[in-house]
Structure 1
Amino acid sequence: MATIRKRTLPSGRTCWLAAYVDSGGKRRFRQFSTKREADAFLVQARSQVGQGVHTPDSLSPTVAEAAEIWLKRCERDRLEPTTIEQYRGHVTLHIAPHIGAVKLSRLTAPLVNEFAEKLLTGGRSRELCRRVLISLSSIVTEAQRRGLVTVNNVRSAKPVKRSGREDTRPVMPTKAELRAIIRATPDRSRPMILTLLFAGLRGSEMRGLLWEDVDLKCGVLHVRRRADRFNSFGPPKSKAGIRDIPLPPTLLQDLKAWRLACPNGPLGLVFPTTAGTVQGHANILHRVFWPLQIAAGVTVPGPDGRLKAKYGLHALRHAAAALWIEQGLNSKRIQTLMGHASIQQTMDRYGYLFEAREDETAMLAGLESGLLN
C-alpha cells in the first residue's frame, strides 16, 4: 500500500514522506519537499514495481560508482587505451566533480541540463560538453543494463546545441597555402604530405599504413588499421573507416619512388622512422609539418610574437574533402572516402561546401544560358 504523510523533522523543516512496497515486498520510504513531488514519485514507483523494473533509492549507486562500473566494462571489452583514457578524463575532470555524489535514481533530466549548463559556463566547449554527455548516457545505460536504475534520463535531457553564432566550419588551408606547402616540402617528406592531402587520411591512419595496404599496380590505398598515441596498431575508428581510396597519378608515382627509398623495418610501414618503427604524431608535427609551413610562409603570430605554423595535420584531411567536393563528388562518395560513420557527420562538417558548389553551378549555368540561348 502506498501512502503519503506530512512530517516535521527535528530541524523544524517540513517534508512529505512517500511510503510504498517494492517488488520484493519490502516497505520503502522517500522524502520530498512538496506533496506534488511525492504524488508524482508514487505514481511512477507503483508503475515500475508493477512492471518489475523499479530500483529503490537506497540500492541505487551514485554516478561516480556507476562510472567505475562502466569503465571496467570498457576495459573488459578491450576498447583502445586512448578511448578508455578519454572516457576516464570525462569522468574524473567533468562528471565526478559536479554530479559524482548524485544517486542514479535521482539523476533527473533537469539535473542533467543543469550539469551541462555548468560545464558551458565553466568554459568548456560545446563539443566537449556533447562528448561528456554521451559518456554520461553510456554510464547510465550500463547501470540500466545491470538493473541498477530504471530509466536513462540523460537521453531525455535537452542536448547541448551549437550556438548559431559559432563557426563550425573546419579549419583548412587555402589553395594558395597548399601550393606553398607542397613547394616547401622536402623530397623525403613529399610522399607523406601528398598522401595526407590527396587520400584524406587521418594522421593515425597514415602512421599505421603498411606497404601491403598500398596497391601500386591498381593505384588504390586500402585503409585497414591505424596507430594510436601509444604507437599500437588497432582498427580504424569505426567500421566505415575500413575503405579503399583511389590514388591520383602524381601521388602514385611519388609512392612508387618512395617504396625504393623507404627505410626497411619488420613492420613494413609506409612512413616509418629511420629505424623502421611507428612515427609519433608529435614527432611528425615538430620535425616535418610545422617547419615546412614556416618555410612556406603559412604562419600566424604566436603568443610570444613569433610566427608559428598555422595548421595541424588534420587540416590536410579537411582540405582533401574540399578538393573532392570541388571536383563534383557527391556527399555519399565523400562519406565513403572520408570513412565517416554516417552521412550526417559528413554534412555537418562539409555541407556548406556542397551548398557553395551548387550555388556556383547554378550561377554559371545562368550565365551560360544568358549568352547561348
Structure 2
Amino acid sequence: MATITKRKWKTSKGVDREAWVLAYTDAGGKRHKEQFEKKRDAEARRTEVTHQVAVGTFRADAASTTVDDAVTDYLKLLADRRDRGEHVTEHYYRTVEGQLRNYVAPTEEHRAKQPVKTRIIFDGGIGAVKLSQASAKVIGDFRDRLRAAGVGVVTTRRILGSLSRALQNAVGNDLIAVNPAANIRVTGKRGEGAKKVVPPSKADLAAALGEAKGSLAVRMRLSASAGVRASELYALRWKHVAFNAGELTVDGRVDAYKNEDTTKSTAGIRQVPLSSAMLADLRRWKDGANSSAPDDLIFPNAKGGFLDHKNILKREFRPLLIAAAKKAADEGRKFRPFNWHALRHFAISTWIEAGLQPKTVQTFAGHSSLAVTMSRYGHLFPSDSHRNVMDQISISIFGVGAQMAHDAE
C-alpha cells in the first residue's frame, strides 16, 4: 500500500519548509520513501508505482538512476568489448558515443573535445530524466525535438537505435523492466531521407582519371570498376586478387582509426569479376610493387601500413578534381566534381547499364538486402526491362493474350 504524508520542518535559518512524502512497499516487501515538493507530483508517482508493483514491472533503482547513468553504463560496456576485441571497433564506439553524448545525454566534456567548426549543440537531451519517468512519450517527445532541430530521418533513427540499446542494457541490469525506446518510429516527409544516387558521368570520370597518376590512378580505376568502398579498398591484399579466375575477393575493411575488421555485413563478403583491362592494370602494379607476397597490401602507405583516407582526400583526390576542373574550363568543357564514394556508385551504375539483374547487382555491391539496392539504384534500371519482365510473368499466368494486348498498344 502506498501512502502520502505531509512533512514540515524548519531550516537552520528558521525558515519553514514542507514536502510530501510517498511511502510504499514493493512486491518483495521492501519499504521505500520518496519526497516531492508538490502533492500532485507525489500522487502521480503513487499511481505509477502502484501500477508497476501490481504488474511486476517495479524497479526501485529506476527512481534514482537517470538516462545519463544508463548511457554511461552502456558506453563502458562497449569500451570493454572494444578493448577485448569483441566485434566493437574504435570507429563504432566513437560513432555511438557521439550519438549518445551529442544528443541523448550531452556533456560539456564531450562537446569540448569536438572541433569548433563541427561542434554540435543540442539542448533537448534527456540525460537528467529518471529511468522511472522514461516513458514512450518522453522518448517520442525527444525524437520530435531532434526532428525540429533539423536532424535528418536517418540520423534520428540511428540516435534512437543507440538509445534503445543503452536502455536495453539497463533492462538487462534490472534497472528498468521494459525498454521504452524499443518501438519508437521515425517518419519523415515523402522522399525525405531517400538515398537514390546519381553517379558521375563517364566524361567526368574520364577527365578525372586523365589527371591521376601512379597508385591513385589504379585505386580510382579499381573502385570505379569493382565498386569497392574506400574502407574495403585499403584492406585488400594480393591474395584477394585471383588473376586466373579474373575476380576480386572482398572480405574486410579498415576503419577511420586504421583498425582492420570484417565487412559491414555478412553480405559484404563477396567475389567481384574484374575485366581483362583491370587485371592487366593490377598485374603491372604488382610487378612494380616493393612487396607482393599474398598477405601484403595492394595499396600500402610508405611504411607498408594502411592508407589514411582523410589524407588521400586532402593531398591527392581533391587537388586532382581541382586540376581536372581547371583543364576542363580552359578547354571550354563542363566538369562536375564528385566525391570518392561516387566511384562505387559509378561501378554499380555500369553493371545496371550492362543489363545485370538486380539480385546480381546486390551480390556484387555487397548490399545487405535487395531492398537496399533498389532503394538507392532502382531508378537506374531501365523501365522497359522491368515492363518486359512483367509481361513474361503475365504470359505465364494468363497466356499469350496478355502479350498480344501489349503488342496492340
**Does 1:272 pair with 2:300?**
yes
Partner of 1:243: 270
Q: Which residue of 2 aligns with 1:303?
A: none
Alignment check: 8 A CA contact 2:25 2:31 kept: yes
Larger Rg: 2
Task: Tell me the alpha carbon deviations over residues 104-145 of structure 1, each in whole angstroms, 9 at most, x when there is no partner.
Answer: 221111211221222223233332222111110110011111
Higher deviation after alignment, 269-278 or 203-212: 269-278
Task: Describe the shift of the 1:60–1:235 C-alpha distance in structure 2 as closer, same or farther (beyond 3 A).
Answer: farther
In the TM superposition, residue 70 of structure 1 has moved relative to its aligned partner by: 0.9
Separation in 2, partners of 1:129, 1:292:
35
CA displacement, residues 273-329 of structure 1 (integer Å, 9 cap, x when unaligned): 2443221102221233223323333999xxxxxx99832211111222222222233
Q: Is the 8 A contact 1:324 1:334 kept in 2?
A: yes
1:141 to 121, 143, 168: 168
Farther off after superposition, 124-133 or 148-157: 124-133
Q: Specify the code of the residue in structure 1 equivalent to 2:189.
A: S
- Percent identity, please: 33
2:129 maps to which of 102, 112, 115:
102
2:71 aligns to what?
67
**Which piece of structure 1 moves more, 72-81 or 28-37?**
28-37
Work out which of the residue numbers 74, 87, 92 in structure 2 matches 1:83: 92
Following the alignment from structure 1 to structure 2, what is the Cα–Cα distance between the partners of residues 161 and 239?
Answer: 28
- The Cα shift of 1:151 comes to 0.9
Offset at 1:351?
A: 3.0
CA distance in structure 1 between the aligned counterparts of 2:148 and 2:200, rounded to whole angstroms? 32
CA shift for structure 1 position 215: 1.1
- Contact 2:215 2:299 (8 Å CA) reproduced: no
State the shift of 1:95 in Å: 1.2
Q: 1:153 aligns with which of 164, 170, 180?
A: 180
Structure-2 separation of matches of 1:171 and 1:144: 43
Q: Distance in 1 between matches of 2:190 and 2:346?
A: 24
**C-alpha distance in 2, partners of 1:298/1:2?**
78
Per-residue Cα deviation, 1:228-280 (whole angstroms, up to 9, x for no partner):
22223222222222221111222111111111123428861111224432211
1:225 paired to 2:234: no
**Deviating more after overlay: 58-67 vs 40-49:** 40-49
Aligned mates of 1:172, 1:202 — CA distance in 2: 14
The residue type equivalent to 1:41 in the other structure is: E
Report the residue type matching 1:335 in the other structure.
Q
Give 3-state SS (helix, strand or coil) of 1:124's partner.
coil
Unmatched segments (≥5 aa) in structure 1: 301-306
Aligned to 2:397: none
In the TM superposition, 1:166-315 aligns within 5 A as 166=192, 168-264=195-291, 268-297=296-325, 310-315=337-342
CA RMSD of aligned residues (A): 3.8
Count of paired positions: 359
Does 2:58 align with 1:54? Answer: yes
**Could you state the TM-score of these two structures normalised by the residue count of structure 1?**
0.82
Q: TM-score, normalised by structure 2?
A: 0.75
Residue type matched to 1:276 in 2?
G
Cα distance in 2 between the residues matched to 1:151 and 1:219:
53
Aligned to 1:41: 48
Q: Distance in 1 between matches of 2:322 and 2:183?
A: 48
Q: Secondary structure of 2:248's match?
A: strand
User: 1:17–1:236: structure 2 CA closer, same or farther, 3 Å change rule?
Assistant: same
Q: Secondary structure at the match of 1:244?
A: strand
